Structures are given as C-alpha cells and as structure tokens.
Amino acid sequence: MALPAGLTKRDLASALEEFAAAVGRQFVFTSDEHINTYRDEFGPLRGTPKDPVPSAAIAPGSVEEVQKVVRIANQYRVPLWVISCGKNWGYGGPAPRVTGSVVVDLKRMNRILEVNEQHAYALVEPGVSYFDLYRHIQERKLKLWIDGPVGGWGSVVANTVERGVGQSILGDFYNFQCGMEVVLPDGELMRTGMGAVPGSPTWQQYKWGFGPHVDGLFSHSNIGIVTKIGTWLAPEPPVFLSCQVSVPRFEDIVPLIDITRPLRQKNLLVNSAVFPPRLGRPQDPANLGGWYNKIGFYGEDKVVDLQWQHVQDAYAAIPGVEFKARRFTAPYDAGEMDAFGRTLAGIPGVGGYGYRGVFCSPILPFTGEAIWNMIHSFDRIYQEYGLRYFGEAIHIHQARALVAPATVPISLDDPKVNETAVALVRRLIVESTRQGWGVYRITTAFMDEAMAAFSFNNGALLRFHETLKDALDPNGILAPGKNGIWPSKHRGRQA
Amino acid sequence: MDPVMTSRRQFLGAATSALALVPVAGPAFAHASGAAGSRPSFYKVVYDERLTDCLAFAAEAAALGAATHGIRGDVTSLWYDDLYYRWREDNPAAIAGLTLEPAAFCLKVFARDAGLHQLLRGDHVCTAHGHFDHTVSAPMPIVRRVESLSASGEGWGAGVARLLSGFDGRMAPRSRASARTGVMSRGDTGLHLVSWVIAPGERRLRSGTVV
C-alpha cells in the first residue's frame, strides 16, 4: 500500500477503519485490483516511479458521509483526492496528484435531484454523467437539451467545475452553472448563491446571490467538495441546423477565425469548433489541406435560416469555401444525425476517443494571427522531439478567446514515447508562458508548471490561492497540489 | 426523486486474477445447432465492419454460432441502447470482440462501471514489415493456443475468433503469449486491433484487506 509522505502506516490503517465505519466497510477499497482502477490510463508518467498511486479508495453515498470522511481525514491528516465519475481522461483521469492519497469516489452519489422544464435547469449530484442526464430527459420526454464533453460518461458536476467545453449551445459549461452545494475542508456544508436562503426557489435560476460570488473558488480548486451543482439546460429548439464550413488551404485558418470573431460576438454563432485537416494525426503545416468549422444553429424556423445565410455570406470572402447543412426539426431522432450532428445537438457519446494523448491547451486571443503564430511556434518545438504539431479542435465557445489544445501522444507500453511526451509538454508550457498564453486545463503531471505561468507581481495570484488554502484547509487534506496549489506543509517539497 | 440504486457489484468495477469467475458450461460461442432455448455464452461478438481482419473474425464467429454486432468505430449506440440495460441485470452479459483500440477502451470503461471486467486482451499490430504481431493476455487455455495464429496468415482474424470460442470463463491464471503472422501486402502499417473478452465475475475477497 502506497503511503503518503508524513503519514504512518498505523495512522492510515486507523483512518481506513474509521472511513469504513463512516461509509460502510464494503465501500473501502485497498486491494491492488481496485487501486489499479484509480490509475490514469492516459498518464504520461505510467510505468515510472512518479506515476501516482492511491493508497485506497472510498465511496461515500451521501453528503453526510462526505462530511464524516473529511472530518476523519483532518483527524489523521490523510490527503484526499476527490473524483466524480473518474473520466477526466487526458487531464489525470481518476488518479490523485500525490501518491498515497485516498481517492474519494463520488460515483455512488448519482441522483438527478431535479430537472425543471419551465426554467430549463437541472440539479445533480457528482456521480451523474451526461449520459444519465440525457437518458433521464429522453425517458420523460422533456423538451430540454443538454451539452456534454467528448465523453458522455463524464460527470456533469466535475466537468462543470473543471470548466470543460462542449460544442453546442451550452458549450461553455461553467458559464451555465448556477448554484452549488459544497462540503468545506472542515466538514461544514455550504450552499452558494440563492441556495444560502433556506427554501429559495431561485437557487438554480439566479447566479449571483448576495455578497461576494464564491462559486469560482470551487472551480479548478481544492478548497471544497462539490456535492450538488445546478446547471442550465436549453429549451429544445423547434429547428436545428447542423452546418459545416470548409476551407481548402491550411492558411485559410487565418481568415476563417477572423470572420468568425464578429459573428460570435454578435451571437450569430453561439458556439462552434474548428477542426484541423488531419484530426487525430500530426499536422505538417507545410503540406496540408484545409479546415472545417462545425456550427449549429438553434431556434425558430426563419430565424435560423437567416442566421445561416448571413454566416455563409460572411465566409464567402474565403476563396474555395464550401458549405453543407442538414436541417432537423422537433421531435428529434438521434439516429438520423451523423456523429457531428449529434455533438452539435448535445447528444452524449464516446466516439471522440481516437487517440491517447495529453493536452497543452493555450488560451489565445480570438484572431487568426494568434492561431497561426501558435501552430508554427508549437510545430518548431514538436520537431525538436521528432514530431509534428498535433492539434485538436479549436474551441470557440467564448466570444473573445480561443481554446486551442495541442495534443501530445502517449503510449500504453513505450516509456520512450512517454518520456518524450513529458519533455514536450513542458516545453510547450514554457513557450505558452513566453507568449503570454495561460493554459485552459492540464493533466496533473504539469499543474505546477501551468500555475507558474501566472506569475504577475511575483506570483500574487498563487499566494492568494495559498492564503485561502491555508485558511480553509490548514491540515492540507483536500487534493494537495491540485492546479499547483499546495498546502503549507508541502510547499517547497512538491511532487 | 428515487435514488439510482448502486449495488456494490455495480459500483466496484474490474478486478483481475483474484476473481473467482462464474463457471460457464461449454464453449463461449453457442453452436447454431445447440439445444433449443440455449443461450450463447457471449451475448454479442463485436467487430469493426470497416476492417478486413474484423470482417474475417466476425464471419468465423458467426459460423461458430455467435451473435455478431458490427460497429463503425463508435460504441455509443451499442452501449447506450443495449449493453447499458443488459449490464444492469442480475446476470450481466459477457461480450467479446475484435475492434480498434479506442472502442475496446470505451467498452472496458463502461464495463468496469457496471462491475464487469476485461478478462482477455489481445493486441494485433501490423508492423512496418507487413507482419502482424499478436500479443495475447488471457487465461492459460487460450494462451496455449496463441501460437496457432502464426499459421493463420492473412486469416488471422478468423483465428482469433477460434481462440475466443474456446473461452469458457473458468478461473485460470492469466498469462501472456505472442505470435507473428506472415508478411501481408496490405499496407496497414501501424494498424492496431484489439481482441477482448468482457465478462462479469463474483469477487473473491483476498485476505488481509480492510474490506
């Protein structure tokens, strides 16, 4: 059994006995077989001494059990790593940051507490996946749409607080979050926003509450365990257009992005994703075809037609541009849509797992010039390692910035590939920092480097995070090292 | 709102060689001439209908009595519309297949969430020289027969089906074996197919654990 630094075997054993009393002995897992299910399948450190291994996993079934777990962890100073559905592939999966941590697996907390059709929201527990929520809505024939990430098996709660993205109308997941319930590191239970008013009917309807807006403190964070989240849904549109704009040359990405920007700012496009010419394979900028932009339009009949026509008129400035569209009307049949259509309609799936890799995802200004600069500067770095730039889709879920993941392949069984991956990602982070691009998310192995880029005023932001961490989690039990935020006892001795 | 009941079996997910598996009588593919009412031991045998070797695999599996199911890379519909329900039953269904790695990965993860596990994995990789290298991790009775793939030549897909047809679900130490099939002229360098078996089991506790 892997021991975390600073914890004795006896204390861990005592803690596990108390965890067993709190959650039920049958939901405490220490065997190798079970521990192996909490390893990172996409981890670049696999097979190395630095590949993090939990000591145990526990599965509380209720908020009250989570509170007990946190209090026990404080008593024994046991580091916890919290997962929801454990599907954070490419960003660490279910594995902890610190070897010897006890994984708190919230999959048993899988109730869909409310789906409100009138106000278009849902309130869910962490173990609810996008598939679960979609099935719930479909079975009850509710006129609501969701959106989800590449893997519909992911947790709605976790993907929201990790600020994941989708490709349809609700693709900026965190932006559509409204109200949380959180277990704090001392076991206290708190609700944010209007949820702090007992009996409030607007917990999932009005984001801000009263006083400082604290929800963001529990996003990308390690100062609370989110046990419920409100998420806005979309009314089912009467008409949905699944559209594609294709441009023939690699360099057409520049005008494609520059034309998209005002369309997005004016909400003529609510979201889209621009796919590189060889998705899933390395791209040689000197010798490639063009790009395609997948766009959905959602709404009333004549309105979506006018939007699409206007958008086509704008893109017509690119020589050789081509357009495709498929029109769907309610009631919708997912079987009639192709894979991209289903994605644009927010229908969850798992078809996007074409390759294993980790991501370095810089946030770029919404300009073609920025994308072009990133591709070429990254490609020079890839070539230092015998590879070529390997881009994923460029996500346009916000109106003023782009998320542009660069993928670095990893291997299940070739340590040299993974050594290269680690070195390459570190170089990409250095380059991103040099260019002033912070990253959107990153896998656990590189969280310290990613946070180090946010160094304004001698790291004032990280010091602020650490101040909160020390105040709220003085024993440092909750997800130490998450996104580079370490409890005081670990600072200077990071993994 | 009624909570979704999650049994311990459903919650736990995969284990490996420590499992005591529910014995399954007879070969894993039911014969077409099997007894009336008999049920295939594999609920479905999955294959990627875009790939030559998978088509050969499926044809042989069908000839051996399996119910085959073709996919085009994406297992979403197979899981969402079918296995999701079959894996919630008291006797969840075992499946087998030959697919690309992402499909095998996705089914393994879905299965783990439902308390099933991957009991066999074969990696079949086309090398730069046109060979297919086969590495199979499986119970010993299967592993002893992996060498037969060397003689299969271009028909190795059918050979994998015959291997899986011998899977009978009894606990056996897992081992690993490799084989290589001869040079093929198809230019599929780098093609990586995965054969797999996913099945339920009854967990046997190991001494010394907390649980």
Q: Above 90 in pLDDT, residue B159?
A: yes
Q: ipTM of the predicted structure?
A: 0.92
Residue B7 lies in a domain: no
Residue B207 lies in a domain: no
Q: Alpha carbon of A449 to those of A84, A184, A360, A363: distances in Å? A: 25, 27, 11, 15
Q: Above 90 in pLDDT, residue B18?
A: no
Instruction: Tell me the chain B residues in contact with residue A113 when contact means C-beta distances shorter than 8 Å.
Output: 1
Compute the average pLDDT of residues A90-112. Answer: 95
Compute the average pLDDT of residues A78-83. Answer: 98
Q: Is A441 a catalytic residue?
A: yes
pLDDT for position B140:
84
* Of residues A87, A71, A234, A81, the one with CA closest to residue A157: A87
Q: Above 50 in pLDDT, residue A411?
A: yes
Residue B5 lies in a domain: no
| Residue A377 neighbours by CB distance under 10 Å | 17
Amino acid letter for position A59:
A
Q: Is A440 a catalytic residue?
A: yes
Choose, from A91, A130, A134, A382, the residue flagged as catalytic.
Answer: A91
Chain B contact present for A46, CB below 8 A: no
Instruction: Tell me the chain A residues in contact with residue B74 when contact means C-beta distances shorter than 8 Å.
Output: 339, 349-351
Contact indicator for A52, A45 with CB cutoff of 8 Å:
yes
Q: What is the pTM of this model?
A: 0.92
Contact indicator for A168, A271 with CB cutoff of 8 Å:
yes
Q: Do A37 and B113 touch (CB under 8 A)?
A: no
Instruction: Tell me the chain A residues in contact with residue B112 when contact means C-beta distances shorter than 8 Å.
Output: 37
Q: How far is CA A274 from the centre of its chain?
A: 18
Residue B84 lies in a domain: yes
Q: Above 50 in pLDDT, residue B40?
A: no
Integer Rg of chain A from CA:
23
* Domain carrying residue B135: 18-30+39-199
Q: Above 90 in pLDDT, residue B95?
A: yes
**Residue B153 in tokens:** 């030549």
Q: Reduced to 3 DSSP states, what percent helix, strand and coil does chain B have, rounded to the nearest 5?
A: 30, 25, 45
Of A109-113, B83-87, B121-125, B170-174, where does mean pLDDT reach its minimum?
Answer: B170-174
Compute the average pLDDT of residues B178-191. Answer: 74
Test the B interface: residue of A62, A136, A353, A356 with most B CBs within 10 Å: A353
The pLDDT tens digits of the residues spanning A182-223 come to 999 999 999 999 999 999 999 999 999 999 999 999 999 999
Q: Do A108 and B6 touch (CB under 8 A)?
A: yes
Domains, chain A, in order of start with CATH, read 1-109+456-495 (3.30.43.10), 112-235 (3.30.465.10), 239-342 (3.40.462.10), 357-452 (3.40.462.10)
Going through A258-330 in order, the beta strands assigned E by DSSP cover 272-275, 291-299, 322-329
CA dihedral B100, B102, B106, B108 (to 10 degrees): 60
Residue B189 lies in a domain: yes
Please state, for a pLDDT cut of 90, what percent of chain A lies above it: 83
d(CA A254, CA A376): 13
**Residue A63 in tokens:** 């908020």
**Residue A287 in tokens:** 């010798």
Chain A contact present for B5, CB below 8 A: no
Test the B interface: residue of A33, A55, A102, A343 with most B CBs within 10 Å: A33
Q: Above 80 in pLDDT, residue A372?
A: yes
pLDDT for position A493:
63
The pLDDT tens digits of the residues spanning A222-243 come to 999 999 999 999 999 999 999 9
Q: Above 60 in pLDDT, residue A84?
A: yes
Residue B57 lies in a domain: yes
Amino acid letter for position A98:
V
pLDDT for position B38:
36
B45-68 burial code (b ≥16 CB/10 A, e <16)? bbbbeebebbbbbbbbbbebbbeb
Q: Indicate the number of domains in chain B.
A: 1
Choose, from A46, A77, A388, A441, the residue flagged as catalytic.
Answer: A441
Residue B4 lies in a domain: no
